[in-house]
Amino acid sequence: GAVVSQHPSRVICKSGTSVKIECRSLDFQATTMFWYRQFPKQSLMLMATSNEGSKATYEQGVEKDKFLINHASLTLSTLTVTSAHPEDSSFYICSAPDNAADTQYFGPGTRLTVL
């Protein structure tokens, strides 16, 4: 089936630094990708919708200046956590809908730890 990759799988950074996470659809094009965040033992919370060629749409309560999203091509979306703080430590997961299959595929996730 279709595959979505994420890089890196794990990242540890110091407080105040920025971290970029990449999400790629490997064998299909995705004009839209979704970014989720999952805290331990909680559900996945939709953060934003990444749109190729236009601005991302953020869910209520998500700071767009804090979480920068760029959908550079039909197969790549990036999420940059700017000026990361320990409370940003979480599991970040992207997904991409495959319109032809009417479903969505999740990446393997990126575990961010901010010291």
Partner 1 sequence: GQQVMQIPQYQHVQEGEDFTTYCNSSTTLSNIQWYKQRPGGHPVFLIQLVKSGEVKKQKRLTFQFGEAKKNSSLHITATQTTDVGTYFCAGRGSGTYKYIFGTGTRLKVLA
**Residue with smaller CB distance to partner 1, 80 or 104:** 104
Shortest Å distance, C-beta 109 to partner 1: 4
In the complex, the residues that contact partner 1 under the rule CB under 8 A are 32, 34, 36, 41-46, 49, 60, 93, 95, 97, 99, 102-109
Distance between CA atoms of 30 and 77, rounded to whole angstroms?
9
Query: 101 vs 115, which CB is nearer to partner 1?
Result: 101
* Token pair listed for 88: 């940003």
Nearer to partner 1, 9 or 15 (CB): 9
Min CB(43)–partner 1 separation in Å: 5
CA distance 76 to 107: 12
Q: Which residue has the tokens 């091509």?
A: 73
The rounded distance, in Å, linking the Cα atoms of 108 and 19 is 17
What's the closest the beta carbon of residue 42 comes to partner 1, in angstroms? 8
Supply the minimum distance, in Å, between the C-beta of residue 101 and partner 1: 9
Each residue of 50-89: b (16+ CB within 10 Å) or e?
A: bebeeebebeeebeeeebbbbbeeebbbbbebeebeeebb
Q: Which is nearer to partner 1, 82 or 104 (CB)?
A: 104
